[in-house]
Amino acid sequence: MTRQVVEEKKQGQALITKQKQGNIKKLFIESYGCQMNMNDSEIVASVLAIEGYDTTNVLEEADLVLINTCSIREKAELTIRKRLQKYNRVKLDSNRKMKIGVLGCMAERLKTKFLEEEKMIDLVVGPDAYRDLPNLLKEVEDGKDAINVILSKDETYGDVSPVRLNSNGVSAFVTITRGCDNMCTFCVVPFTRGRERSRDPQSILKEVHDLWNNDYKEITLLGQNADSYLWYGGGLKKDLKKASEIAQETSIDFAKLLEMVALALPKMRIRFATSNPHDMHVNVLHTIAKYTNICNYIHLPVQSGSTRILKKMNRQHTRKAYIVLIDNIRKIIPNCAISHDLITGFCSETEEDHQETLSLMDYVKYNFGFMFAYSERPGTLAAKKMIDNVPLAIKKRRLTEIINKQMKHSLIRMQESVGKTFEVLIDGTSKKNKNEWKGRNSQNAVVVFPKIGAKKMGDFVNVKITSCTAATLKGIMK
Ligand code: SAH
Ligand code: F3S
C-alpha cells in the first residue's frame, strides 16, 4: 500500500471515530504483568470499540474501568488489590455510574471470590471470554454482577484486529499462541490461561501486513511458548490424534511460521517471546540465522542451573540439555543476545543448587535477565505437594547474588559492543535528554545517540557505539 493510501485510510478511521462521537463512552484500561496481557487489552479495546467505547487515560472521566491482572507472584496480586482501592475511591467520589471490571489471570484464578471480596467490582472476565464483554456489560447495566471465566480450547481472537494502546507507532505485539500445557510446578499460568492453542497463520500474516501498512516497523510474536507453535487446522496443540492425521508437510511449526512472516515482509523487524528451552529446535536457530529481519535475540528462561531443581519444577530440560542449546545458538547465530528468567529459593533448593545456578550464569554470560524469589501460588503442584521451605531471607540473599552477577555480565556484554556499528530502529526520544534519540539494535540493547539530520521515529539508522553502561549503549549516527 502506498503512503497516500495509508494516509487516506487513517483519515477514514478518524472520520468513523468522529461519527461515533455522539454516543461514545469512555474506557480506562490498565494492564499489569506480561506482554500478552498488554496485547489482550488491545483486543479488549477492539471488542469494546464496536460497542461505542473510546479509550481514555483519565481515570476520573471513565464510564468503564478495566484492569487486566497478573497472578504470577503474590506481589503482583497485592499491587492489583491496591490499584482496585484507588478505583473504588474514584468510583465513590464520582457522581456518574462508573463500572469496574477485572480481566485476566486474577479474574480466572479467583472467579466469584473476587465479587465477594471486592464489593465495588461489577465484572469478572477471564482471558478467553473477552468476546462476551458486550453481553456481560448488558447484565451490568441491568444491575447484576457479571462473570465469565470459561476457558476455551480454540479461542485465539484470530479475527480481532487489536486497537493499539499506548503505542509508539513503531513496535507492536502479535499473539501467535495462547495458554500453556507445560505445567511447571511453580507456575499458575496453565490454570489461568488454559490449554495451549495456536492461531491461524493466515490471520497472523494479515495482522502483520496491516501493521506494516500502518507504518509499524517491528513486531514481537507472542506466546507463553512461542516455539511450540503448531498449526494443523485449529484446536488444542496437544490433540495428538488430530495432529497425526494431518500430514507433517501441511502443518506449520514455529520455524515455518517465522520464515513465512520474514519472507512476507522482508523489511519488518521480527522478534518473538517466549522460548521454552525444550521447545526450541535447531531449525528455528537456522531460520533466525537465515533472515536478516529476524532479530538476533532469544529470551530463554532457564529457572535454575540445577538439574535436581529443574526436575522438581517439572521443566522438560536438564542443565546439560540447556547448555547444548546455548552452544548451538552460539554456533549457528553469531552475535545472538540471550536473556533468561531465574527463580531463587524454589522448594528444597540448597546452597549447592544455588551455586549451580551461579555457575550456569558464568557459562552463558547472559545479556539480560529477569530474576525472582520463589512465590508459592495456590493451586499449583508445588503448593499442593511440596514445602516452601527456603526461608525468605535466604531466597532474597540468593536473589541479590544472581542480580549482582547479572549486572556484571550485562556490563561485559555491553562493553563488547563498544566500537561496533549497529542498525538501530528509532522508537522514541531519550528520557534523559530530549536532544537524543533512543532505539534498539537487533540484540535488543537500548541505544541512545544525538539527534542529527532529518531522522524520525520508525527510521532505521546505523549507530557507532562509543560508550556504555550495564543498561544502555551510547553512540553516534554514521
Ligand atoms: N512462558 C512464560 C513464562 C511466564 S512467567 C512467558 O511467556 O514468559 C514469567 C516468569 O515468571 C517465569 O519464567 C518464571 O521465572 C517466573 N515465575 C513464574 N512463576 C513464579 C513463581 N511462582 N514464583 C516466582 N517466579 C515465578
Ligand atoms: Fe509457566 Fe512453565 Fe508455562 S513457566 S507459562 S507453566 S512454560
The string of pLDDT tens digits covering residues 383-392 is: 999 999 999 9
Place of cell 530530549: 434
Query: Which of 36, 70, 72 has the most ligand 1 atoms within 8 A of CB, as the residue to mutate?
Result: 72
Would you say residue 4 has pLDDT above 80? Answer: no
Would you say residue 19 has pLDDT above 80? Answer: no
Tell me the mean pLDDT in the region 137-157: 95
Strands 460-468 and 472-477: antiparallel
CA-proximal residue: ligand 1, atom 1 (nearest): 224
**Residue 442, amino acid:** S
Q: What is the grid cell recorded at 10?
A: 487513517
Would you say residue 175 has pLDDT above 70? Answer: yes
Q: Measured in angstroms, how far is the CA atom of residue 108 from the centroid of ligand 1? A: 17
Ligand nearest to the CA of 301: 1
List pLDDT tens digits, range 368-387: 999 999 999 999 999 999 99
H-helix or E-strand spanning residue 139? helix 133-141
CA 262 to each of CA 79, 175, 294: distance values in angstroms, whole numbers, following the listed order:
39, 16, 7
Ligand nearest to the CA of 71: 1
Query: Which of 71, 192, 224 has the most ligand 2 atoms within 8 A of CB, as the residue to mutate?
Result: 224
Closest alpha carbon to 294 in 283, 303, 310 = 283
Domain ranges within the chain, ordered by starting residue: 3-148, 171-412, 421-477
Confidence (pLDDT) at 97: 83
H-helix or E-strand spanning residue 135? helix 133-141
Tell me the mean pLDDT in the region 166-186: 96
Any residues with CB less than 8 A from the CB of 400 and at least 6 apart, and which? none
User: How far apart are alpha carbons 89 and 65 in whole angstroms?
Assistant: 13
User: How far apart are alpha carbons 425 and 457 in whole angstroms?
Assistant: 8
Closest alpha carbon to 165 in 29, 343, 314 = 29
Tell me the mean pLDDT in the region 473-477: 98
For domain 421-477, give the fold: OB fold (Dihydrolipoamide Acetyltransferase, E2P) (2.40.50)
| Residue 247 confidence class, pLDDT cut points 50, 70, 90 | low
List pLDDT tens digits, range 428-473: 999 999 999 999 999 999 999 999 999 999 999 999 999 999 999 9
Tell me the mean pLDDT in the region 48-60: 95
Ligand nearest to the CA of 386: 1
User: How far apart are alpha carbons 376 and 381 in whole angstroms?
Assistant: 10
Beta carbons within 10 angstroms of residue 189's beta carbon: 22
Confidence (pLDDT) at 18: 40
Confidence (pLDDT) at 244: 61
Any residues with CB less than 8 A from the CB of 244 and at least 6 apart, and which? none
H-helix or E-strand spanning residue 107? helix 104-110
H-helix or E-strand spanning residue 62? none
Ligand nearest to the CA of 376: 1
Confidence (pLDDT) at 108: 98
Would you say residue 155 has pLDDT above 70? Answer: yes
List pLDDT tens digits, range 265-291: 999 999 999 999 999 999 999 999 999
Closest alpha carbon to 358 in 374, 375, 340, 376 = 340
Q: Measured in angstroms, how far is the CA atom of residue 181 from the centroid of ligand 2? A: 8
Ligand 2 pocket member 190 (CB < 6 A): yes
Ligand nearest to the CA of 36: 1
- Rg of the chain, C-alpha, whole Å: 23
Which atom belonging to ligand 1 lies closest to the Cα atom of 376? 22
Ligand 2 pocket member 224 (CB < 6 A): yes
Place of cell 507504518: 215
CA 30 to each of CA 56, 103, 307, 393: distance values in angstroms, whole numbers, following the listed order:
10, 10, 38, 33
List pLDDT tens digits, range 303-347: 999 999 999 999 999 999 999 999 999 999 999 999 999 999 999
Ligand 1 pocket: which residues have CB below 6 Å? 34, 72-73, 186-187, 189, 224-225, 274, 301, 303, 341, 343, 372, 374-375, 377
CATH numeric code, 3-148? 3.40.50.12160
Q: Measured in angstroms, how far is the CA atom of residue 157 from the centroid of ligand 2? A: 21
Q: Are 390 and 408 in contact (CB under 8 A)?
A: no
* ∠ CA 226-232-234, rounded to 5°: 80
| Residue 250 confidence class, pLDDT cut points 50, 70, 90 | confident
User: How far apart are alpha carbons 98 and 103 in whole angstroms?
Assistant: 16
Closest alpha carbon to 211 in 179, 177, 175 = 175
Name the residue with higher pLDDT: 4 or 477.
477
Could you tell me where the DSSP H helices lie in 142-227? 189-193, 201-213
Confidence (pLDDT) at 23: 59
Q: Are 239 and 251 in contact (CB under 8 A)?
A: no
Any residues with CB less than 8 A from the CB of 149 and at least 6 apart, and which? 107, 108, 111, 124, 125, 126, 129
Query: Which of 35, 71, 187 has the most ligand 2 atoms within 8 A of CB, as the residue to mutate?
Result: 187
CA-proximal residue: ligand 1, atom 6 (nearest): 224
Give the lowest-confidence range in 29-43, 87-101, 119-133, 143-157. 87-101
Q: How many residues does the chain have?
A: 478
Asked whether this chain's domains 3-148 and 421-477 adopt the same fold, the reply is: no
Which atom belonging to ligand 1 lies closest to the Cα atom of 370? 15
Confidence (pLDDT) at 16: 41
Which atom belonging to ligand 2 lies closest to the Cα atom of 183? 6
Tell me the mean pLDDT in the region 395-412: 98
Instruction: Report the helix count and the strand count for the chain, using DSSP H and E.
Output: 16, 21
Confidence (pLDDT) at 422: 98
For domain 171-412, give the fold: pyruvate-formate lyase- activating enzyme (3.80.30)
